[in-house]
Structure 1
Amino acid sequence: MAISCSFFLFMVFTMMDHHVGGENVSEELRCGGNGPAIRFPFRLKDMRQPDHCGFPEFTLSCTHSNQTLLELPISVKLFVEMINYTTQVIQLYDPNHCFPRDHQLSRLNLSYSPFQFEELPYNYDYYPPEGYGLFNCSETVHERNDIHRISCLSGHTHQVYALDFYDSHSLWELPILSCTKMYNIRYVPEDVVWGDVNILRLKWSSPDCRRCERRGKNCRILKKNNSTDESKTERFPKGASKKLVLIVIGAILGSFLLVLVVFAGYRVYRYDKVEKENQAKIKTFLEDYRNLKPTRYAYSDIRRITNEFADKLGQGAYGTVFKGKLSNEIYVAVKILNISKGNGEEFLNEVGTMGTIHHVNVVRLVGFCADGFRRALVYEFLSNNSLDKFISSADVKNQFLGWDKLQDIAIGIAKGIEYLHQGCDQRILHFDIKPHNILLDQNFNPKISDFGLAKLCSKDQSVVSMTTARGTMGYIAPEVFSRNFGNVTYKVDVYSFGMLLLEMVGGRKNVEVTTENISQVYFPEWIYNFLEKKEDLRVFIEDDGDALIAKKLSIVGLWCIQWHPMNRPSMKVAVQMLQGGDNLTMPPNPFASTNTTRTNARIPAMNVGQELEVIPESE
């Protein structure tokens, strides 16, 4: 398309050059803003005008001070004041206001010029060749008709006189000893010779364009058979060159707009094609999915359920969640997916995973909407929002659920993740376990939500192929960023769960950050050091039983965030550790901080990673 556009523009410029050159059209020029208009038969030298714009004898030029200059035969250069194309008269002047100075008039010869004097000198046909003689005299001479003083050449110590040679007796009137002849001036009007006027008016008779001018048209050189006949001219409408330029500019602008329209049309076509492919993929998936339980809603149903999106619950990277109510008085949470995000992968992930699983600790998918470009997911509504609301503030006691309830929530989350890893036909890796994605029902039972980043994997194999990291910073396992820590397996969810456990404990920690305790800011390392020293955790604890629960959650969390996946427990083992006794073995130190007091870390005998397998990603 770009090559075609370039070729089209090249053809436009070629046609413009052909028409402008072929029609001999020349634009009107000026040397300065107030200078005379220059057009046929005159042409302006050194202004990139072709020769056919004017005749050679009518060539003008511009001075450095933007004055218009005409050079007559025998190198007589005069400045142009005005050009009248209707009367065919050009008006010249001398910048020094003295034509007789510098021998200008002595060299003037119009015999080989297309110009003639507008008014011939008196008795022109009978004048002898000498014309006038200029004499420099030291004495004053009495003036008369044939002897005239030239004031612009005279001074205090000398006088210059023009002597008419037509009367031979005039010479005897001059004092011979005090006068010296300067030069002769040929036939020019006497008032110009005498320096009384500073204007020289010349006319030309050929080419005769006066009839063209009176009709509002211009002349140009007539060309035939690629040869210029300088004696002939033809008429053409005035302003034809401007019209042609406007036509060419219109063609260029039109071609540019055409390119924009074609490009915009291509973009729309491409977007429509990609979107149709996405819709076809979703349609195929939904046809295979039609026998399963989630209900399919029309977009009009979604608007009715949410009361025209009146109650907004929250907003995430992939969509906005609204509160809604079904006809049977059941409340739901409706997630409207962003059209501009992704290519439908999140929609397929959520429906494909949540629609096939049913567990007490996994949010239930009630229905979905795939109506053209509009896509939505309808979940069961959980009245107590997400877990992060109850673990983010250390000092607000009325938001603290109690350590027994926190332990129950931890066990419920662990069972939900274990179900995703082992209880489904295919292993489901969530990839985004964090407090924000753990919702709580009216009895504070936890339910895992937001499966937009989930992947389905085969149970009998182990490594997941990934092109980009996915998840939330702070909860992403190190092997997701670097394969030096091992392959990406279901242990990435174990790591995220461990960080969640430590955050549940750390949310109760009440430590002021100062320069003295800056090393305690990273709570997982701080909690490891306290546990290793066998000290009590100084957190929001009511009695010794609560301290034991906090210690258990901390130890299990530290086991789950081991750097190498082989050292982390499976979710099944994590559930057993949370439900079992309080005599848990301390894990190896997962931190490399220089502030830790631990020097010889004991490697516990507990082997929690022997069941690791390679999991390939299922599409």
Structure 2
Amino acid sequence: MLAPVDLFHFLLLCLLVPFLCASDCPTSFDCGFGEFHFPFTTTKRPDCGLCMLDGCDNATQNKTIQLQKGGTSFQIIIISQEDNDNHNIIWLRDDLFQSHLQSQSCEIFTNNYTLPFTSPLASFEIKSNITLFRCNTNLSVSFPDNFSKSSICHGFDIYYSSNSPMGSKFLSQYSSVCSIIQLPIKPPLQSTDPFTFLTPEPFIDVRLSQDCHKCYHDRRGQCQLDRKGQFYCTAKGKTQKFVFIAIAASMAAGIGAIMVLAYCFRRNHSSMKFILVWKKKNSAQHQLFHNFLRNHGPLPTRYSYSNIKKMTNGFEDKIGQGGYGSVYKGKLPSGHLVAVKVLNKSTDNGEEFINEVASISKTSHINIVSLLGFCFEGSKRALIYEFMLNGSLEKFIREEENASKLNSQLDWETLYDIAVGVAQGLEYLHKGCNTRILHFDIKPHNILLDEDFCPKISDFGLAKMYPKRESVVSMLGARGTIGYIAPELVSRTFGNVSHKSDVYSFGMLMLDIVGGRKKNISVKTGDCTSEIFPDWIYKSLELEDCGVKIIKTEGDKERVRKMIIIGLWCIQTKPSNRPPMSRVLDMLEGKVECIEIPPKPFFSSSTRSLTPFSNSTYFSIEESDNL
């Protein structure tokens, strides 16, 4: 008599033999980073799809894709595909295009970005692109005022606009004198140099035709073209076959489920728990990426975890450590030094991680750290930043050791310039981006300094993005670091959460720069802790004695006094009493005599120990104060 397990194997084999012997294309296939179906296929079965993936059978090989048979192979960053969805989004890397960008070769402007032609099966579209007009420099061409002009190439000029409607009539007006080309971009367009906003990593939307969509999703057939290029569906006359396969698969799955369920019950459910958790986790992660690609568009370069280990030489040189994880010095294949932030393993679905990637990828500013890439493989997550030679601001204003050396490096002019740079970065986040970004964690540790001590705002893990037109943002609990967190983030009784919450943190940062919480302050009585520091410095201001050491010139004295006054304005308890960052910049650039002494803020140690909200709360965003 056959054992239950042997009987299961026998029945399963009998049921699947017809399916295994069939010559039809598989309904789906695994490529190592996800399961995909038509219009994707593998290079081994080019007849089963439109876009061919290579490297699926090799876990260590980089995956590439051909958008059409015999076409160029591109590296795959992400493919987002959902059942019954007519959008198949491919995020790829074009090595030739990247080479032209890196060498700033004007050859990049000679042709359109080539995609397969629209066919009866599908259409291909670049999600973010720009129309450029390449015009001979000897010709006199007049474009509307909202167009930008670039003369970086010899022999021709480039004209473009990011917000001008271009109908067929407009295009035909210039087609006789200029070449019209379309190229992929990474928004926003913040520069007049096209090389800075063009991208070698476009998003391609592959959309099935209506006939092909019905054939594949409704009739479970294969989309094909005959010799004349006419569409036909192979599902006709094969209904019984598909029904049989469906029944066979269902029976096999049913028997398998019963056997696995029985086994799991005997094993105290442990295996079943693992299967359910694994499926749920991967599904959530895939959905997170899918939703982001639809809503926000391009991300920086995505690296595998093996790439991360290679660029850090096996995590050899650790340059930082925090509650989030560790930072390692690394090097890209191009030779550029990078800082690789490897996060501690997490059991969440990665929403906060993707939030940080998304926030920084939306920015382009000298005072915002550049995110060069990221890694997201299950619980393994890392961020690749430009390398900042001088590390964080915190070590220059907090450390007691080698104080004389640090102070000689960071004179008051340098410290003041750092404050101005951070203010410029914050103003850009609040009003310079297409999507407003609230940082919610401005503090010395998150201000990085390059070799010239130019400050860069970093760590966007707590940031919140929302369109400028919206007046309400949903937040889960309080965000920020004790000592820098605005009162309204802890208790709504202080006011509404807004861009003024970042202003508060910036004010505490400026007072920190002046006082160093300990190092630069000459305290005659009492202990200058983070809780009482603002109160103490306000009293010193009233006595016109800042109590700050190492002031050598009148210019230094003016800078210090100005930072104290502006810092105190920024930390006013009521958000409505704090200036927006644009006003902060005006005060930093003005004379100290023109700045009014602010009211004394309300300080209480109890406000620093309030428990954050434990459930989701909607906060009103203040839109006043002429951002």
The two structures have a TM-score, normalised by structure 2, of 0.51
Residue 476 of structure 2 aligns to a residue whose secondary structure is coil
Structure 2 residue corresponding to 1:430, chosen from 439, 450, 453: 439
User: Residue 430 of structure 2 contacts residue 436 of structure 2 at CA under 8 Å; is this kept in 1?
Assistant: yes
Q: 1:524 aligns with which of 519, 534, 547?
A: 534
Aligned to 2:430: 421
1:468 aligns with 2:474: no
**Closer, same or farther in 2 for the Cα pair 1:370/1:492, shift >3 Å?**
same
Distance 1:310 1:573 in 2: 45
Equivalent in the alignment of 1:387:
393
Q: Tell which deviates more after alignment, 410-419 or 261-270.
A: 261-270
- State the Cα deviation string for residues 486-530 of structure 1 (Å, max 9, x = none): 11111111111000000101117555778x434787221111111
- Secondary structure of 1:310's counterpart equals coil
Residue identity matched to 2:393: L
Instruction: Specify the code of the residue in structure 2 equivalent to 1:268.
Output: F
Pick closer, same or farther for the CA change 1:487–1:559 going to 2, 3 Å. same
**2:517 is aligned with 1:505:** no
Alignment match, 1:44: none
Q: What corresponds to 2:578 in structure 1? A: 568
One-letter code aligned to 2:567:
G
1:329 Cα offset (Å): 1.6
After TM superposition, give the deviation of residue 312 of structure 1 in Å.
Answer: 1.3
Q: Please state how far the C-alpha of 1:556 moved relative to its aligned partner.
A: 0.7
Q: Does 1:325 align with 2:331?
A: yes
1-side partners of 2:311 and 2:392: how far apart? 22
**Is contact 1:537-1:551 (8 Å) kept?**
no
Instruction: Decide which of 595, 598, 617 is 1:587's aligned counterpart.
Output: 598
Q: Secondary structure at the match of 1:272?
A: helix
Match of 1:340 in 2: 346
Whole-angstrom CA distance in 2 between matches of 1:290 and 1:333: 25
* Superposed counterparts of 1:75-224, under 5 Å: none
Q: 1:76-106: CA deviations, max 9, x gaps?
A: xxxxxxxxxxxxxxxxxxxxxxxxxxxxxxx
Does the 8 Å contact 1:438/1:448 carry over to 2? yes
The AA in structure 2 aligned to 1:585 is E
Deviation of residue 318 (structure 1)? 3.0
Partner of 2:380: 374
Query: How many Å apart are 1:262 and its aligned residue?
Result: 3.6
Q: What one-letter code is carried by the residue in structure 2 that aligns with 1:352?
A: A
1:362 alignment counterpart:
368
Distance 2:548 2:522 in 1: 13
Q: In 2, are the aligned partners of 1:463 and 1:488 still within 8 Å (CA)?
A: no
Partner of 1:492: 501
Going from structure 1 to structure 2, the CA distance change for 1:289 and 1:566 (only over 3 Å counts) comes to: closer
Q: In the TM superposition, what is the alpha-carbon distance from 1:540 to its structure 2 partner?
A: 2.5
User: Are 2:575 and 1:540 aligned?
Assistant: no
Structure 1 Cα separation of the partners of residues 424 and 559 of structure 2: 18
Counterpart amino acid of residue 574 in structure 1: V
| Inter-partner Cα distance in structure 2 for 1:269 and 1:328 | 41
Distance 1:410 1:513, change over 3 A: closer
CA distance in 2, matches of 1:260, 1:588: 71
**What's the CA shift string for 1:209-233, capped at 9, x where partnerless?**
xxxxxxxxxxxxxxxxxxxxxxxxx
Distance 2:589 2:559 in 1: 11
Worse-superposed segment, 521-530 or 472-481: 521-530
CA deviation digits over 1:389-422, x for unaligned, max 9?
1001468121020000011000000000111100
Per the TM alignment, residue 457 of structure 1 is displaced from its structure 2 partner at its CA by 1.7
SS of the equivalent of 1:464 reads strand
The one-letter amino acid of 1:300's match is: S
Q: CA contact under 8 A between 1:476 and 1:495: conserved in structure 2?
A: yes
| CA distance, structure 2, for counterparts of residue 377 and residue 466 of structure 1 | 24
**Which residue does 2:284 correspond to in 1?**
278
Look up the equivalent residue of 2:597 and give its one-letter code: M
1:40-59 correspondence to structure 2 within 5 Å: none
Q: Deviations over 1:93-127 (max 9, x none)?
A: xxxxxxxxxxxxxxxxxxxxxxxxxxxxxxxxxxx
Give ranges in structure 1 of 5+ residues lacking alignment.
1-255, 595-610
Q: 1:408-447 deviations in whole A, cap 9, x for unaligned?
A: 0000000001111001111101111000000000000000
Structure 2 distance, partners of 1:368, 1:342, is 17
Report if the CA contact (8 A) 1:462-1:489 is conserved. Answer: no
Paired letter, 2:479:
R
State the match for 1:397 in structure 2. 404
Aligned CA RMSD, in angstroms, stands at 2.9
**Equivalent position SS for 2:481:** coil
Q: Which residue of 1 aligns with 2:240?
A: none
Provide closer, same or farther for how the CA distance between residues 310 and 519 of structure 1 changes in structure 2, counting only shifts above 3 A. Answer: closer
Q: Residue 589 of structure 1 aligns to which amino acid in structure 2?
A: K
Q: Which moved more, 1:267-276 or 1:355-364?
A: 267-276
Letter in structure 1 aligned against 2:332: L
Whichever residue aligns with residue 529 of structure 1, its letter is K
Secondary structure at the counterpart of residue 592 of structure 2:
coil
Structure 2 match to 1:305 = 311
Shift of 1:571: 0.7
Structure 1 position 305, deviation (Å): 0.6
Query: Residues 355 and 365 of structure 1 are in contact (CA less than 8 Å); yes or no, is this contact kept in structure 2?
Result: yes
Deviation (angstroms), 1:357: 1.1
| Percent of aligned positions that are identical | 50
- Identify unmatched segments of 5+ residues in structure 2: 1-261, 606-620
- Cα pair 1:464 1:489 within 8 Å, conserved: no
SS of the residue aligned with 1:465?
strand
Go from structure 1 to structure 2 and tell me whether the alpha carbon gap of 1:482 and 1:293 turns closer, same or farther (over 3 Å shift): closer
